[in-house]
A and B are shown apart, each in its own frame.
Chain A
């Protein structure tokens, strides 16, 4: 697959169809993957593909990365789950479909965290999203690399995140509150969760609006709660459960639980799942006269 990917990347760069290929490369010790930006066709051999390719590179397509945009039209190495974020970005008019060349990777899953890799992709080191994945064969791509995956996700979504959500739902209001206050108490207000999320593309996040200061910047219980609730609310109906925020959080706050819970709520209320169709707008940004709720009319 790696060879196929490199060959295609080379073609794209040589023909000038794209100016940069955003993909994965090795670190110095060849133990971890890290994003690379290939602008020279002679350097395509730096591209790698393996289960350590966890990052959702779609972040680099957002307007925060003006230096990358200045390079010219990009091609991006993307797994199906990453493509879902690209789809959301398109539906939210961040760029047009033709502005990016998608190198879709047929995927058999990745590790939850790179540190867990011991040379073999076992089910227990894969994130919940992979166990329920319906996009192992990329659903939107200009070119697909790899053999078709025959995996079919379970009828009812299953796995650690779903089990934990059930357990928390059963806790009752006071129990839930106590659970989340305790989890959020560890927050150090680094905003890594925001920075790593391709859907958190605002150039001026509400946390940075300080006249008045909407969200207290201090890492005290009040500030942590307001930040984490705000982050969650701003991603309702948009978040794809890619898991990058949880992976980036340096203090292991289980953000995937928040994300998946919101996804379930949106699914129940609007029968909508984000990131599948680049022509359908997410429910929070459209108004429909047929809306079954009438509070807005």
Chain B
């Protein structure tokens, strides 16, 4: 059977088709010397030689800042009007297999005790087109958390790069099938040889079961390990902002005393004010305790509550950290 192919020269057709039908096309482009996910109008801007985009594409389902309501202060009280999410087909091309699995993690939290439509409506119209990895760096550790470049769950469409720079197309979900159908003029059929995928080496000294078990036992809480390995954290929050599964936000009002908007903005458990009480007490007094929370969230809270992963091993937090705090070194410590 012939494969479905997305030819390099047809990428432009696909971009035009999505944008032309009122959709949004997101792909990795070069911006300020970094590869980042951004809106794309021309296929020429899309880069293919990268490991992972600097940012996670989560910002297209969970924007960094968005208005959720408008308010006016009237004589009779406050008028609050909720905003409606305008969701349209949003296509992300060039996600990696590890991060493709992160959407189910985000959905789990945003539909857990409350259905956050600002998230779900966007995710319902998001099409994730994964390109399997032909490159990796020392920060990649998908294979250590049970994923790999061959992981297809989470992707709506899974692409393998060919030697000539085209893509072999595999549709994984109904959404993916519908997408290919909707834009079928951009796809062709044929046969091609896929480039070899690159498997990051599994870190042998890490055992996720042991990490989980150790974290369940509350005695780890005051373990000296936290201070020893993570007191160098400066609490910049960059790791949480680039992480595809981090999801914390803050609600803030902006405007005048009489009218304004209520916004939902990204927040991070790494900030010292995150758990600061009005009384002045802070249960996470030291930075390493805030870091402990991030680790707990990924390797204890998530596995306990949800079927999806808290960490997908993309390594973004390691690459971005100004003090090179490596989460795998902590995983290693708790595997002993």
Contacts and interface: CB of A to CB of B under 8 A. Distances in A.
A223 B253 CA distance: 13
Contact of A250 (B241, B272, B286, B332): B241
Given A65-B287, A213-B254, A218-B263, A192 B236 contact: yes
Contacts of A32: 324
Interface stretch (B27-35, B78-86, B209-217): B27-35
A219 B242 CA distance: 15
Interface stretch (B9-17, B151-159, B226-234): B226-234
Interface in B244-273: 250, 252-254, 263, 265-266, 268, 271-273
A237 B65 CA distance: 33
Interface string A128-139: 000000000000
Contact of B234 (A196, A208, A218, A247): A196
A266 B287 CA distance: 34
A192 B250 CA distance: 18
Contact of B329 (A28, A188, A190, A216): A28
B31 A186 contact: yes
Nearest to A188: B241
B265 to A, nearest CB: 5
A36 B232 CA distance: 7
Contacts of B329: 27-28
A33 interface: yes
Given A192-B238, A196-B236, A37 B323 contact: no
Contact of B322 (A29, A55, A220): A55
Contacts of B252: 210, 213, 216-218
B322 A192 contact: yes
A252 B232 CA distance: 22
Contact of A114 (B231, B238, B324): B324
Contacts of B324: 27, 32-34, 114
Contact of A28 (B232, B273, B328): B328
A274 B92 CA distance: 47
Nearest to A55: B323
Contacts of B272: 64, 203
Interface in B320-336: 320, 322-326, 328-329, 332
B288 to A, nearest CB: 7
A31 to B, nearest CB: 6
Contact of B33 (A27, A190, A252): A252
Contacts of B287: 64-65, 67
A107 interface: no
A68 interface: yes
Nearest to B227: A67
Contacts, number: 108
Given A190-B237, A219-B65, A247 B231 contact: no
A195 interface: yes
Nearest to B289: A67
A37 B138 contact: no
A224 to B, nearest CB: 10
A208 B242 CA distance: 22
B281 to A, nearest CB: 14
Contact of B138 (A29, A64, A183, A219): A29
Contacts of B250: 217
A55 B232 CA distance: 11
B322 A67 contact: no
A114 B323 CA distance: 11
A213 B238 CA distance: 22
A141 B232 CA distance: 23
A250 B288 contact: no
Contacts of B231: 37, 65, 67-68
B188 interface: no
A188 B64 contact: yes
B235 interface: yes
A28 B332 contact: yes
A250 B54 contact: yes
A244 B265 CA distance: 26
A186 to B, nearest CB: 6
A59 B250 CA distance: 27
A126 B222 CA distance: 41
Contacts of A66: 285-286
A67 B288 contact: yes
Interface of B: 31-34, 54, 64-65, 138, 227-228, 231-232, 234-238, 241-242, 250, 252-254, 263, 265-266, 268, 271-273, 285-288, 320, 322-326, 328-329, 332
Question: A-B pairs with the 6 shortest C-beta distances?
Answer: A192-B236, A195-B236, A248-B322, A34-B324, A218-B65, A35-B232
Given A189-B266, A196-B322, 20 more contacts: A31-B138, A32-B324, A34-B232, A34-B324, A64-B235, A67-B227, A68-B231, A186-B32, A190-B238, A191-B271, A192-B238, A195-B236, A196-B234, A203-B272, A217-B265, A244-B322, A248-B238, A250-B242, A252-B32, A253-B32
